[in-house]
Amino acid sequence: MTASMDIAQQVDLSALNTLGLPVIAAHYAEPTTIGELQQLLAEAHRQHWPVAVLGGGSNVIPAPYIEGLVIRYAGADTHLEVDGSSGLLHASAGADWPSLVATTAEAGWWGIENLALIPGSAGAAPVQNIGAYGVEIGELIERVVYVDREDSSVKTLSAAECGFGYRDSIFKHALSERAIIVEIVLRVSRNALPRLDYADLAQRVALPATPMAVADAVSAIRRDKLPDPQQLANAGSFFKNPTVPESLAAALSERYPDMPRYPAAGGVKLAAGWLIDRCGLKGFKRGHFGIHERQALVIVHVGGGSAQELGAFANTIAEQVEERFGVQLEQEPRFLGFPA
């Protein structure tokens, strides 16, 4: 293994998860190329190390101690393949997502501007099928390139093969323990395609708009509503918006006429933040964790807490919502490095 591929031991990764949870990795490496990644996988196989993959750290709950090898793919190259008014944006998995959106929008390309200021890396974006203000990345994905952990081969999936759903993809299911994403390819356009379905966004954007104007407006709204992880540790929206049967949604609407509800596949989607807020939990604190004072979907960490304490706090929130509304909440952040 070359000097550039040295594997560090007993590495503190506390600064690499936006929840600011304490975590030590037994072994850690940051490959920048597919070849380096394949070398690491071969070494992990020889050493019989389990492998955990860390992206931007904005949507994970890490174990306090992670056995084996933690890999953070750091290749961050990007380039645009232009065909008239259409383009294919190639982004290596380690590219910073907010920077990628800003650069693309500033260059006048439409497509990902509604996803501005979502923290994380480009490679993590399809795993969660990140979405905001009426746009999900799954709509824009042309293909995803990954390295298979089992045989180190490089494979490509089309958007249809990625199984995108609400905050969901094949990378959270069948490929959760196999795929290490190394590149995403997104379809962007020069044609003006502003998505301004949300009132708070439409109010801030004057038509005719530019992609940068939309990205700036989205960023301003996010700054108003959500705490900056650099200032207050958090993982963004902690709970998914639940989809419930029409019968339950109708019964709840009779009791709570102001309850937001939206059509969804398989039922009606409710606003998890509204449910938590109506339980009187906005601003609620216990120990080292709390619900953000302006956004009930966000759990914040004031420092000194653990993953176990966070889990207990989140369970308390979910239990109160279920007791009052009969609705089960599901967390968004995924666990990293915990025993199966």
Residues with catalytic function:
167, 237, 332
Residue 115 · residue 132 · CB < 8 Å: yes
Residue 311 · residue 286 · CB < 8 Å: no
Q: Given the DSSP bridges, would you call strands 60-62 and 154-158 parallel, antiparallel or unpaired?
A: unpaired
DSSP conformation letters of 6-28: PPEEEEE-GGGSTT----EEEEE
For 245, other C-beta atoms within 10 Å of its C-beta total 11
For 277, other C-beta atoms within 10 Å of its C-beta total 16
Residue 215 · residue 205 · CB < 8 Å: no
Using alpha carbons only, give the angle 154, 160, 164 rounded to the nearest 5 degrees.
95
Collapse the DSSP code of 45 into the 3-class scheme (helix H, G, I; strand E, B; otherwise coil) and give the result.
Answer: helix
**Residue-level length of the chain:** 340
Structure tokens at 224: 């108003």
> Comparing C-alpha atoms, which of 304, 229, 183 is closest to residue 60?
229
